Structure 1
């Protein structure tokens, strides 16, 4: 659309790196990040990020280039984030649970120009280097045998080089948030500087009201995804972030840190929140400082919700959102969480529309349906992503008349509270991570002797949902559960691994010959396989 006559064409906005620069200027000596025994002030963190940006620039990385990062939680992954933003480049973080082949696909799909890979993942570095021989830079995070240089060397090389914050416009990409949307292999949802500035403001408004430099946040989830968005809000307000010292989640250590740092907020998923409140350490440490314990990413069982309220009080905050909308669809604030069942509890709701976001429940033709009627959850507003990178077919399916189609089914009541009732796709959520059955099915079909397969998510008290694979062996062949699971191990991330495998003579089909997950689930129930033992 051409701007009206007399109005400027440019839509320049603040580069997200400006949030860090402003905070470092205002609170130079305030604690920014703590990880085990190590501490970084805002001045130090901004200095290291700027030096890393200069080091990357000297290696030919600049505006618009995609920087792939495969790294566990730590100061390094956060430094790569702000260094990339500073250059006007695009940050492309991965889930560290992905296997080398999966990360190599993300490198190709994003058109990565640089790959920063933690030293403990040499196989991933090799897979990406083989997939992208034109890669400008392969650098290790930590000392490693692979790569042209490493993270600390890049910082050291850039410390004497000026690296001003790049000017950007509203729609300039800054983060590729990989998601499969509703089906298929992962797609890069393009998040932009202008969009994420709105998301930061929205999070602070709806999820974390009153957050200042007096607050502290505990990081218990991967910074490559939702916890990374949460970190942006802490940077904007100058609140310290505290990382768990180990590689694995440790509930006892988490509660010790809550008391030691007077933690006031954290972002988590229902599985982790359940582990936190059920651990004995919750009663051994003072957690009165908590104000906002935010959970998202999957439904939470009502009994688990009530137990969390009994342990923590009215501090839990729920939101519903997808990567494509950066979590900004609904909020159920702490004050609306009720421990006792009844009309006030609004059992099953995920809240009401976030500030600046419009939600419609639409039928298959895109028409809004009346309150209480099930349809597809569609949204519009400044938090909606710019579209999928290099994927016009996916964009055509994802948008209709300006509305983003979430692929989830639900209904709204007369007051605007949203209830999710199902998924238009077969995607399920295990431990807060989306799992897309088609990807697993295609892999299983590579196993010798399998003619057909159906993977579906089934309820699990610990993980929310887990995968089950129903396989049909070829005539004369047999498929052993243990052997197939062993074959899958290392070929797919562990959270995507089916928990059980069942071999059947045939899969149920509809009158049109189509295999439907609904019919497979019904057959599992008829055979007494659900719930899983």
Structure 2
């Protein structure tokens, strides 16, 4: 039988559809700037035409290194319309980081925020950027997005794509090892958009307003896609960095209904006094993901905001589509002895398995590696067959996270496989210890990790940050843990730091804590 050629839907088509349906409705708000869907769509046309004139062809890569800005969104859809794959990078990365990433994805062109010339130069040293650079955010020259001429006839027709055509190179956050580029395809992202709208924000429509408080280069960018598909406006704070008072003022003024964030940002927002100074009852879905949220922080957010929290669990490789925990399902009981809350049930159309070291599926309640299958899983790692084969061993995508499911299929994450340490022959998962320490009133943040020990192999070291004005010492915290934790799990050292190192995506980086302890001459206590 002859297999017909099948066409996929270019992600940029969703912007075109919304612009035809809602041409004059608000698409983007950024300070005094308010773009309509027609204006955003025409801007994407200009980017598409400029890339094609410079020689960018279907299937090639364009690197996008920029701060959150209306022109960033214009660039995203312009790249896709041209048929190229986009490789977004976090603006906190160094030029050396950009060089490493460029060596993986081999961009032929770059779109970057003004003031990031060193980052562009780093990419140019790797590939030459033969198709040149376009600039976001008030660039005066002809290569600035604001100065691009309108697209001519046929110059901005959306490129035809097939199932499996590359759309987004989603780079791992770099908390362990060299960055890898998960291949996200046009058809896969089409499923993710539908799934996000159904599972995370039921009823999403042009009546909604979304606030972008996290970098659009990663999870917040994926969260943007269903807003565009449904015609919901996106509000981008004009102030640099995270200013909670500005966020809550925007929520009130623009009647924001949903936002995507990560636990550290959400905790910062709900602990700031401004949350009580501005009206936020318009919020229906406050979505958090990217790292586990400690129970105490989650419960405080629920108390402040009400039943609007939506948690999802997922990796860049699965585009966030592993589990969902709706507002009504928060505060579900813990699993057994572990003081960890559930991260939810399998997303629509996805399947989860908890496997042992031999690849066999475990019974409910047993801890093993969390593995997943379904149409949201990436198409592998770009140019890295070894990593792809390892990640997909046995047909499942292996997350590297440890956890268990209960009898109803709800998933509980106990930690990263790489975070687990072995002390005296016992496997110890830091998450359980961290949950118990964060419940102490003096502890604002904490990270527990294994450090080498000549007798026990590894011992637990807890590094913590104090609440403002609070005091506690090691003896007090150990005394707090003693009745709450099995003796073999007790950390052997508790160190107070002014702050914990975090990645550009707000995650605590335990590898950096380990390296800083080692560089400071850390030695195992007696």
The normalised TM-score by structure 2 is 0.80
Alpha-carbon distance between aligned partners in 1 of 2:79 and 2:462, rounded to the nearest angstrom: 36
Distance 1:402 1:456, change over 3 A: farther
Alpha-carbon distance between aligned partners in 1 of 2:235 and 2:86, rounded to the nearest angstrom: 22
Distance 1:40 1:89, change over 3 A: same
Could you tell me which of 302, 305, 308 is aligned with 1:309? 302
**SS of 1:12's equivalent?**
coil
Partner of 2:68: 73
**SS of 1:359's equivalent?**
strand
Partner of 2:389: 396
Alpha-carbon distance between aligned partners in 2 of 1:114 and 1:171, rounded to the nearest angstrom: 22
Could you tell me which of 195, 198, 209 is aligned with 2:202? 209
**SS of 1:91's equivalent?**
strand
Partner of 2:177: 184
Partner of 1:383: 376
Alpha-carbon distance between aligned partners in 1 of 2:175 and 2:362, rounded to the nearest angstrom: 22
Instruction: Extract unaligned runs of 5+ from structure 1.
Output: 430-434, 438-453, 463-487, 509-522, 528-533
Alpha-carbon distance between aligned partners in 1 of 2:94 and 2:519, rounded to the nearest angstrom: 29
The count of aligned residue pairs is 454
Displacement after TM superposition at 1:57 (Å): 0.5
Cα pair 1:68 1:114 within 8 Å, conserved: yes
**SS of 1:247's equivalent?**
coil
Partner of 1:129: 124
Could you tell me which of 406, 418, 429 is aligned with 1:425? 418
Distance 1:494 1:372, change over 3 A: closer
Partner of 2:144: 150
Residue 18 (structure 2) pairs with residue 39 (structure 1): no
Displacement after TM superposition at 1:341 (Å): 8.8
Alpha-carbon distance between aligned partners in 2 of 1:95 and 1:504, rounded to the nearest angstrom: 27
Displacement after TM superposition at 1:117 (Å): 1.9
Deviations 1:194-253 (A, max 9, x none): 100000011011100001100101110000110100100100110001011111111111
Displacement after TM superposition at 1:423 (Å): 1.1
Aligned-residue RMSD, C-alpha = 3.3
Pairs within 5 Å for 1:75-474:
75-133=70-128, 135-142=130-137, 149-153=143-147, 155-156=148-149, 158=151, 162-179=155-172, 183-338=176-331, 348-426=341-419
Partner of 1:21: 16
Deviations 1:71-95 (A, max 9, x none): 0000121111100110111011101
**SS of 1:197's equivalent?**
helix
**SS of 2:249's equivalent?**
helix
Alpha-carbon distance between aligned partners in 2 of 1:331 and 1:359, rounded to the nearest angstrom: 12
Distance 1:408 1:117, change over 3 A: same
Deviations 1:243-291 (A, max 9, x none): 1111111111111111111111000011111111111111111111111
Cα pair 2:108 2:128 within 8 Å, conserved: no
Cα pair 2:139 2:145 within 8 Å, conserved: no
Partner of 1:59: 54
Alpha-carbon distance between aligned partners in 2 of 1:106 and 1:395, rounded to the nearest angstrom: 17
**SS of 1:266's equivalent?**
strand
Displacement after TM superposition at 1:303 (Å): 1.2
The normalised TM-score by structure 1 is 0.79
Displacement after TM superposition at 1:129 (Å): 1.7
Distance 1:311 1:340, change over 3 A: farther
Cα pair 1:215 1:239 within 8 Å, conserved: yes
**SS of 2:297's equivalent?**
helix
Cα pair 1:69 1:92 within 8 Å, conserved: yes
Alpha-carbon distance between aligned partners in 2 of 1:117 and 1:422, rounded to the nearest angstrom: 36
Distance 1:56 1:456, change over 3 A: farther
Alpha-carbon distance between aligned partners in 1 of 2:464 and 2:15, rounded to the nearest angstrom: 41
Alpha-carbon distance between aligned partners in 2 of 1:180 and 1:299, rounded to the nearest angstrom: 15
Cα pair 2:334 2:342 within 8 Å, conserved: no
Partner of 2:474: none
Alpha-carbon distance between aligned partners in 1 of 2:220 and 2:507, rounded to the nearest angstrom: 20
Alpha-carbon distance between aligned partners in 2 of 1:75 and 1:325, rounded to the nearest angstrom: 26
Alpha-carbon distance between aligned partners in 2 of 1:13 and 1:503, rounded to the nearest angstrom: 51
Could you tell me which of 495, 501, 504 is aligned with 2:516? 501
Alpha-carbon distance between aligned partners in 2 of 1:140 and 1:97, rounded to the nearest angstrom: 17
Alpha-carbon distance between aligned partners in 1 of 2:138 and 2:342, rounded to the nearest angstrom: 48
Alpha-carbon distance between aligned partners in 1 of 2:521 and 2:278, rounded to the nearest angstrom: 54
Cα pair 1:376 1:409 within 8 Å, conserved: yes
**SS of 1:195's equivalent?**
helix
Cα pair 2:111 2:134 within 8 Å, conserved: yes
